[in-house]
Amino acid sequence: MPRPRVRCRYARGVSSTDPRIAVIVVAAGSGTRLGAGAPKAFVRLAGRTLLERSVHALRGMRTLPQVIVVAPADRLEEAAAVGEAALGSPVVVVAGGETRQRSVAAGLARLAPSVEVVLVHDAARALTPAALFDAVVDAVEATGGGVVPGLPVSDTIKRVDEGGTVRETVDRSELAAVQTPQGFPRAQLAAAYEAATTDETDDAGLVAAAGHPVTVVPGDAHAFKITTPWDLRRAEELLAGALPPRIGFGTDTHAFDPAAELWLAGLHWPGEQGLAGHSDGDAVAHAIVDALLAAAGLGDIGGVFGTGDPRFSGAHGEVFLRETRRLVEAEGYRIGNISVQLVGNRPKFAPRRQEAEALLSELLGAPVAVSATTTDGLGFTGRGEGVAAFATALLVR
């Protein structure tokens, strides 16, 4: 039996052919204060444009709204492509006007007939979470009036005259720093725009001027407006902090070579049997290198350093570790920590464990824990034919 089609209010991103909610994303500004050489909504933040990020957030709403993107007249096609890719379904695109208010008016003209609640959102508030859109919709439905998200003002605010003289301190308990999305019953917003005689910087200003009550609901710190280069950097840092760390794993094995000097964990071990290899056979250092390269997605030691490369013939672990650190840092990572274990009968590691940890931690700029174990006489390490090392590395952005 076919399953009945149910429209669930809480199924995220469920689309409707007759949307009740519309979000007008205003993206037609020039971004003068950002000064990035492109209209602000088309400036990239960690690889994605502000417009893409703003529209993508709408996917997370409980119900997929009608999405209207108001873009610069010469960017309509680009806005349509970016909007559709970010939303996962087509968006309406319309050219903006000279001022934000005119841009919103252009968007209002394209509302679907079924829309009852309209949210207006600045593309420049690119990190606004979907939950704030849902909260504004809920508050519009509950109050039947306009709703703006706002945050308490934390600075002391002064009223200052033209000459720069402080006139008074404004009572900040009466103030709210308002954000978008701002939500309204469609009829109220449309009527306020028709009756507009002044140019306001937000929609609540016009609706209030038309005599309708507007309520403030709790805003979200992430909904800050990207206005200046400093704001863009802050947004980049917030995104970087939200990215998960990356883990990598690496192993290495070398056979004993009685003719060689032993170098292990970056240390020289006089009187101990050495290890065979193109380099100095430092399995501990090499396992760490592989773990770091894997975590950064940079391949492995053979691919990066090349066993045929004469520069690394006989090279000590230190050379590989320094260069690997440089490579992962150039990819935008910082080493979080490393754990490495040596498996073998010789050398007795415990007496020099702390020395090895200090050296490796210094070389890599992060804590390195080194442990050692034997295998109860089993396998090639147990038979004393060589050593193995196993390492994990954590990288953070």
Residue whose CB is less far from ligand CTP, 35 or 211: 35
> CA 12, CA 119: separation in Å to the nearest integer?
18
H helices present in the chain, as ranges: 50-58, 76-87, 100-108, 130-143, 186-195, 203-209, 229-242, 283-296, 301-305, 317-330, 353-364, 379-382
* Among 64, 67, 123, 178, contact with ligand CTP (rule: CB under 6 A): 123
Q: What's the min distance (Å) between Cβ of 28 and ligand CTP?
A: 3
The interface partner of residue 154, options being Mg ion, ligand CTP, none and the CB cut-off 5 to 8 Å by kind, is none
Task: Please report, as residue ranges, which positions from 226 to 265 form the binding site for ligand CTP (by CB under 6 A).
Answer: 227
Q: What's the min distance (Å) between Cβ of 227 and ligand CTP?
A: 5
> CA 67, CA 123: separation in Å to the nearest integer?
12
> CA 54, CA 79: separation in Å to the nearest integer?
12
Contact 344, 387 (CB under 8 A): yes
Residue whose CB is less far from Mg ion, 95 or 130: 95
Nearest Cα residue to 71 out of 50, 56, 88: 50
- Hunting for tokens 């804590």 — which residue is that? 367
Whether residue 258 has a cis bond before it, omega within 30° of 0: no
Task: Please report, as residue ranges, which positions from 216 to 255 form the binding site for Mg ion (by CB under 5 A).
Answer: none
Choices 79-87, 98-106, 238-246, 384-392 (CB under 6 A): range interacting with ligand CTP:
98-106
Q: Count CA atoms within 13 Å of residue 253 on its CB side.
A: 7
Binding mask 31-70 for ligand CTP (x = CB under 6 A): xxxx-----xx----------------------------x
Based on the shown chain and the rule CB under 6 A, indicate whether residue 30 belongs to the binding site for ligand CTP: yes
The interface partner of residue 41, options being Mg ion, ligand CTP, none and the CB cut-off 5 to 8 Å by kind, is ligand CTP
Residue whose CB is less far from Mg ion, 29 or 248: 29
390 DSSP β-pair partners: 251, 341
Positions in the binding site for ligand CTP (CB under 6 A): 26-34, 40-41, 70, 96-100, 103, 122-124, 225, 227
Positions in the binding site for Mg ion (CB under 5 A): 29
